[in-house]
Amino acid sequence: MKKIEAIIKPFKLDEVKEALHEIGLQGLTVIEVKGFGRQKGHTELYRGAEYVVDFLPKVKIEVVLEANLVERAIEAIIQAARTGRIGDGKIFVSDVEEVIRIRTGEKGASAV
């Protein structure tokens, strides 16, 4: 089992969700986050005063899936989330040792 964490621009969430659904993934977790990378925030003007926005709003998607679906899921996320501009996001892939469905006690792939 693998876990994919993708940090993307908020307005790309629906496209990424649809792309993942098309390859057969049924569930995902979405978290609203803030952060910065090379984009380093930006300057805004509010009531005549200039201020720096260091942390930009992003969305973090978490998906746990079988290892054989990882490459398709990564490609789906990239295709759906890419704008070609700085700040498109990152994808992290890690191993998951165990998955347990709380309601039934199922373990492994059947619990996902």
- What is the C-alpha to C-alpha distance for residues 110 and 65, in angstroms, rounded to an integer? 10
How far apart, in Å, do the first and last CA atoms of the chain sit? 10
- What is the C-alpha to C-alpha distance for residues 3 and 39, in angstroms, rounded to an integer? 26
Q: Is the pLDDT of residue 60 over 70?
A: yes
Q: Quick one: 71 exposed, middle or buried, by C-beta within 10 A (0-12, 13-18, 19+)? A: exposed
24-39: pLDDT as tens digits: 998 999 999 988 777 6
User: Are the CB atoms for 77 and 57 separated by under 8 Å?
Assistant: no
More confident residue, 99 or 35: 99
